[in-house]
């Protein structure tokens, strides 16, 4: 039986980050895995099945909500700062090291989507990690931004960034936009049906809000974690890429994989960005489980 407990630990600025800790059967200390979700998501968005699969293999697993999201503290709410999330994730690694159930010399990291990009940066900059899995990662925010926003809409988007900046200068709270909506009259981060279905899946009341700060989109268009790919080595890197991923761009992810150095492995899955969580869960989780067993249990 895998035991799941609620945990809290303090991050930079005395902000409380909250999450789940999964403890496997058997006597420890166990190798550990730390996990986090992508853009404006929470741990309830499909992460527990992965965490339980890893725990069933004997890993102690920490899953946390990024600051300003879900159960974690932080202001302004619903604000995505990739570099702050990376700094917080480094603290999560330190917290995992401190747990008596965990072998601090055998810790791996798993990130998906936006946090799949973070996983590449973390693998390149934190040598405590023994193995990294980057699932359907954001690798080039600038390139994906060009693809998502039609040329005729760019001026309005840039003006929304400027107005948000002016408002904050006047002392106003950062403005927000809907994350997913099928209504073309509602400004939203995503409009494709697969994203709507994923983000609007049933979650506990209060666990997730369908909004994100406008400035999160501006920063996302500046974020290019794929540039760190060649620096992950000698830490082993597994990348899981959807063959028809139009959210982060399959071609951009594959180009990032080509820049990474050995040891590395590529797992291509059928389908798009959200298929690893359900339709291709067995393939995606199986590849990650094998990678962690190879590099954390030897």
**Domain assignment present for 275:** yes
**Domain assignment present for 192:** no
Helix (H, G, I), strand (E, B) or coil at 168: helix
pTM of the model: 0.97
Taking alpha carbons only, the member of 49, 35, 45, 30 closest to residue 284 is 49
Sequence-separated contacts (24+) of 191-195 with Cβ below 8 Å: 192/246, 192/247, 194/272, 194/273, 194/274, 195/247, 195/273, 195/274
**Domain assignment present for 89:** yes
**Domain assignment present for 197:** no
Q: pLDDT digits over 160-210, tens only?
A: 999 999 999 999 999 999 999 999 899 999 999 999 999 999 999 999 999
Domain containing 286 equals: 3-145+221-296
Taking alpha carbons only, the member of 92, 89, 91 closest to residue 115 is 89
CATH code of 41's domain: 3.40.50.1820
> If pLDDT is split at 50, 70 and 90, which confidence band does 28 have?
confident
**Domain assignment present for 118:** yes
**Number of compact structural domains in the chain:** 1
**Domain assignment present for 270:** yes
**Domain assignment present for 212:** no
Q: pLDDT digits over 62-85, tens only?
A: 999 999 999 999 999 999 999 999
**Domain assignment present for 96:** yes
The predicted structure's pLDDT at residue 20 = 98
Taking alpha carbons only, the member of 51, 30, 41 closest to residue 80 is 41
Q: pLDDT digits over 254-264, tens only?
A: 999 999 999 99
């Amino acid at each position: 039986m895998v035991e799941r407990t609620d945990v809290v630990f303090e991050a930079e600025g005395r902000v409380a980050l909250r999450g789940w800790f999964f403890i496997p059967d058997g006597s420890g200390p166990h190798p550990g895995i730390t996990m986090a979700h992508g853009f404006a998501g929470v741990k309830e968005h499909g992460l527990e099945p992965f965490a339980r699969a890893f725990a069933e293999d004997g890993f102690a697993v920490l899953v946390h909500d990024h600051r300003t999201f879900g159960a974690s503290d932080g202001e302004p709410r619903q604000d995505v700062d990739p570099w702050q999330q990376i700094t917080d994730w480094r603290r999560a690694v330190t917290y995992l090291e401190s747990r008596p159930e965990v072998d601090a010399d055998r810790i791996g990291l798993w990130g998906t989507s936006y946090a799949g990009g973070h996983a590449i940066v973390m693998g390149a900059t934190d040598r405590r990690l023994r193995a990294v899995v980057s699932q359907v990662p954001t690798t080039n925010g600038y390139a994906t931004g060009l693809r998502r926003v039609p040329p005729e809409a760019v001026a309005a988007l840039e003006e929304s960034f400027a107005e948000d900046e002016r408002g904050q200068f006047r002392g106003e709270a950062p403005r927000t936009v809907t994350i997913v909506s099928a209504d073309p009259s509602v400004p939203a981060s995503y409009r494709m049906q697969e994203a709507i279905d994923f983000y609007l899946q049933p979650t506990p009341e209060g666990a997730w809000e369908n909004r994100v700060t406008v400035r999160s989109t501006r920063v996302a268009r500046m974020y290019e974690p794929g540039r760190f790919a060649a620096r992950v080595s000698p830490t082993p890197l597994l990348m899981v890429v959807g063959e028809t991923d139009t959210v982060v761009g399959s071609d951009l992810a594959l180009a990032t994989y080509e820049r990474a150095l050995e040891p590395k492995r590529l797992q291509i899955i059928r389908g798009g960005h959200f298929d690893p969580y359900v339709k291709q869960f067995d393939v995606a989780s199986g590849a990650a489980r094998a990678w962690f067993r190879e590099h954390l249990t030897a």
